[in-house]
Amino acid sequence: MKEKPAAMDSYPNINSLISDFVVQLKTSGRSREVFEHVGPNHTEEEMFSYLWGLQEAHQALTPTLVSAGKSEKIAESFLEGGEEELDRGDLKEALKSCSMAILFAPHPMSLGGRDAELENGRDRNNNLDILITDEEEEDRSRAYLNFELLARGYGGRSEVLFEAGHYRQCIIDIDAALNHTSDDSLRERLHERRAKCHARLRDEEENGKISTNDKYEKLSDTLCSETPVLPDPHPTIPAFSKDVRVAFAPSQGRYLVSERDISPGETVCVERNYCSALYARNLLTHCCVCLSRSLAPLPCPFCSGVIFCSEACRAEGLAGCHWQECNILPTLVNLAMGPNSFLAYRIITATSYDTLKGLLFVLKGEESSKPAEAIGFDEGGMYSSSSYRPVYHLVTNRKERSPTDLLRRCIQAFVITKLLVKSGRYFVNDCGAAFDPTREEIMLLGSTLVHHLMSLMCNAYAVGELQMNVTDYRQCKMEPVGGGVFVASSLLNHSCNPSVAAFSHGRTQVLRAVRHIPAGRPLTYNYGSFYCTEDEDTRRAGLLKQYSFTCCCEACENGWYALFHLSSDLVISCPKCSTAPSESCRSCECTTVKKRIEQIVNSFDVMYLQILHKDVSSNDVNMLIDVIKLMEKWVQLPCRDYFDAQELLKLYFDTRGSHVYV
Ligand SMILES: [Zn+2]
Ligand SMILES: [Zn+2]
Ligand SMILES: [Zn+2]
Ligand SMILES: [Zn+2]
């Protein structure tokens, strides 16, 4: 039996802290008083300041720090499990167990022998050239030796990687193992394995790849085609193409409109997020810096709570976002406050306290002084995805929120504030030393957190990856692995029949048209309610609750849900024949169009497999785009074939974005 990593079940989560808080309030007779201070008519500062002033809150809502340190016992048990799985030939499970052993094995407190590579920021995944010679290796400081468990973890994983045919990654693990062991027999075995790897790689170079273990060789890190580049970025919203403009209507707020006809498949936005955070369930499978899945991850030297995909990401994480959370992340995960709490934490740590303090007064002023259209644009007129200003100005819908909802956000902010203070890594002076924040400083931080926790509920985007099963590609699924803040994409309004869809390329999000968008029409995105999966009432109720608006899209206005579930035939609506074409109008253009559409639709099954195997031709993709346009012009919508065509086009772009073989 493998031991469970960091058994945290016994520590209280946020709900039990809240129950405790409620009991304490009842005891002191203040249950009612709370809602005199927390409600839509109070500012974030008023609400947070009231909560922070309550003795009951400090007693009930101060989280106990949970540690996710290294553990020899857990590492040993994973090593044992890994060996058994390897003996059984279950390489996939053996790989996971060895990675967990590496994660839990005691680690030197600095990264040691690889500093030079870290400085160069080179990626460990495609680098035969960083291999070191045996002599250099023997010279290596002995300070990193005698981390035998860590060495056995890397050594064990190198064996699995060798069996699975991943020779390059195997060599990297062998070198990591050699870094940490002085055990001569282990070193000898590792050297032998490395020689075999080189022989196999030379062989592949000369004779081409001969696959012996196809299933396991396909297992992969997150892969991604090259991220598209916008040929003509918008002059003031550089994440978008210049073919859009910002429009404003009191009923719809700010939204984007196309300046010219945009075809399905066209890229309209390429945006790198301000910050992102993994969902808790992905913390040990995906890199906490770039959100990529990693086949042979690297550990944090200090905790067992996250992994890194490469030396470059590890260096970046330990110098920034992960360093700021390393000692409190297990507590945050354990509190189970939902994905937005980690993202809110990351917004705050991505913005230093000095920046926050310097900007906040100005930003608050802008809320009331600037016209709604201009909010988020800086003094130079730019709306930048990497600056804090538009992040702060994402809508919060505070006035539409219920008092209980607001109290919950305040409680989350309270807990996160406690953690930021406890981490000793947020309130730091110029020399990096922690200091005790004043009440004023706490209020500024806490109220900003309340603000972001509200805005993330309506503005956080999912970062996804297409997971393809190595044994059967048809079992592929799009899986959200984390959330990100994309301020430019947040300018889009919702439609249940959206004109634009999002595709993840790591931390960059690409928006592409999935319909023909005529000049002057709005660009719309789907906030989570599609016309084909939920009826109007359910969609409208959900959108009203989460986003505070009533949807008036064509699907909601025209009862598309019911029509979609009835539709199985192509119904041509021809301006000339006016009704469905019959024998009498065989000469009309619509008859030819219908035949053409049917012909393309009949090839959908073949195209689906071609897309999954990545051997679809650009001609086929163009055909898909054509059929979408033809159907928009000639077919009565909603229609199942139209939906299928859009889904195929999206799947094609999903296979161009972040995808992984599992
Ligand atoms: Zn990474
Ligand atoms: Zn850590
Ligand atoms: Zn709608
Ligand atoms: Zn006709």
pLDDT of 9 reads: 55
| pLDDT tens profile 454-496 | 999 999 999 999 999 988 888 899 999 999 999 999 999 999 9
| Residues bordering ligand 3, an ion, CB closer than 5 Å | 496, 551, 553, 555-556
Say which DSSP state 415 is in: H
* Nearest ligand to the C-alpha atom of residue 555: 3
Contact 4, 304 (CB under 8 A): no
| pLDDT tens profile 427-453 | 998 888 999 999 999 999 999 999 999
Ligand 1 centroid to residue 316 C-alpha, Å: 9
Ligand 1 centroid to residue 481 C-alpha, Å: 13
Angle of CA points 259, 260, 265, to nearest 5°: 115
> CA of 140: how far to CAs of 1, 110, 146, 175, in Å?
37, 14, 13, 12
Compute the average pLDDT of residues 95-116.
81
Kindly tell me if the per-residue pLDDT of 588 is higher than 90. Answer: no
| pLDDT tens profile 240-263 | 999 999 999 988 889 999 999 999
Ligand 2 centroid to residue 321 C-alpha, Å: 10
* Nearest ligand to the C-alpha atom of residue 321: 2
pLDDT of 599 reads: 95
Kindly tell me if the per-residue pLDDT of 136 is higher than 70. Answer: no
pLDDT of 139 reads: 55
Q: Is 311 exposed, middle or buried (0-12, 13-18, 19+ CB in 10 A)?
A: buried
Ligand 1 centroid to residue 312 C-alpha, Å: 7
pLDDT of 585 reads: 62
- Residue among 113, 217, 214 at smallest CA distance from 170: 217
* Nearest ligand to the C-alpha atom of residue 559: 3
Ligand 1 centroid to residue 232 C-alpha, Å: 29
Cα–Cα distance for residue pair 65/472, rounded to 1 Å = 43
pLDDT of 570 reads: 86
Return the axis-axis angle of helices 618-634 and 589-602, rounded to nearest 10°.
140
Ligand 1 centroid to residue 290 C-alpha, Å: 4
Kindly tell me if the per-residue pLDDT of 326 is higher than 70. Answer: yes
List the single range of 226-235, 318-327, 564-573 with lowest mean pLDDT: 564-573
Kindly tell me if the per-residue pLDDT of 566 is higher than 90. Answer: no
Instruction: Report the percentage of the chain scoring pLDDT > 90.
Output: 81
Cα–Cα distance for residue pair 193/162, rounded to 1 Å = 8
Return the axis-axis angle of helices 148-163 and 72-88, rounded to nearest 10°.
20
Angle of CA points 153, 156, 161, to nearest 5°: 120
Ligand 4 centroid to residue 437 C-alpha, Å: 74
| pLDDT tens profile 107-128 | 998 764 444 333 333 333 434 4
Say which DSSP state 249 is in: E
Q: For all residues of the chain together, what is the average pLDDT?
A: 91
- Higher pLDDT residue, 99 or 111? 99
Cα–Cα distance for residue pair 561/568, rounded to 1 Å = 13
Ligand 3 centroid to residue 575 C-alpha, Å: 27
First to last CA, the chain: 24
Contact 661, 219 (CB under 8 A): yes
* Nearest ligand to the C-alpha atom of residue 302: 2
Ligand 2 centroid to residue 305 C-alpha, Å: 6
* Nearest ligand to the C-alpha atom of residue 482: 1
Residue at token pair 């393809």: 468
Tokens of 648: 């195929």
Cα–Cα distance for residue pair 165/200, rounded to 1 Å = 9
